[in-house]
Structure 1
Amino acid sequence: MSAEAAIAIRHVSKHYRRGHQDIPVLVDIDFDIAAGDFLALMGPSGSGKSTLLNLIAGIDRPSSGSILVNGVDIARLSEAELADWRASHIGFIFQFYNLMPVLTALENVELPLMLTRLGRRERREHAQLALEMVGLADRVEHYPNELSGGQQQRVAIARALVTDPELVVADEPTGDLDRKSAGEILDLLDRLNGELGKTIVMVTHDARAAERAHAIRHLEKGELSALQINPRATPVATPG
Structure 2
Amino acid sequence: MSDEKKPLVLIRHLRKAYRRGTQVVPVLDDISFDIERGEFLGLMGPSGSGKTTLLNLIAGIDHPDAGRISVDGIDITRLDEETLAAWRARHVGFIFQFYNLMPVLTALENVALPLILFGLSRRERQERASLALSMVGLADRMDHYPAQLSGGQQQRVAIARAIITDPTLIVADEPTGDLDRQSGQDILDLLERLNQELGKTIIMVTHDPKAAERAHRLRHLDKGVLTHDPA
Q: Distance in 1 between matches of 2:162 and 2:230?
A: 27
1:36-75 equivalences in 2 (<5 Å): 36-75=38-77
The residue number in structure 2 matching 1:117 is: 119
Q: Distance in 2 between matches of 1:150 and 1:194?
A: 21
Structure 1 residue 187 corresponds to structure 2 residue 189: yes
The residue number in structure 2 matching 1:212 is: 214
Q: Distance in 2 between matches of 1:33 and 1:115?
A: 28
The residue number in structure 1 matching 2:153 is: 151
Q: Deviations over 1:36-92 (max 9, x none)?
A: 000000001100000000000000010100000001111111110011001100000
Unaligned runs of 5+ in 1: 230-240
Structure 1 residue 163 corresponds to structure 2 residue 165: yes
Q: Distance in 2 between matches of 1:146 and 1:202?
A: 27
Q: Distance in 2 between matches of 1:4 and 1:19?
A: 42
SS in 2 for 1:228: coil
TM-score scaled to structure 1, two decimals? 0.94
The residue number in structure 2 matching 1:80 is: 82
The residue number in structure 1 matching 2:32 is: 30
Moved over 4 A (4+): none
Identity %: 70
SS in 2 for 1:169: strand
Q: Distance in 2 between matches of 1:127 and 1:145?
A: 19
The alignment of Structure 1 onto Structure 2 pairs a total of residues equal to 229
Tell me the amino acid that sits aligned with residue 35 of structure 1.
R
CA RMSD, 1 decimal: 1.1
* Larger deviation, residues 11-20 vs 133-142: 11-20
TM-score scaled to structure 2, two decimals? 0.97
Unaligned runs of 5+ in 2: none
Tell me the amino acid that sits aligned with residue 144 of structure 2.
H
Tell me the amino acid that sits aligned with residue 72 of structure 2.
N
Q: Report deviation, 1:18.
A: 1.9
Q: Deviations over 1:164-194 (max 9, x none)?
A: 0010000000000000000000000000000
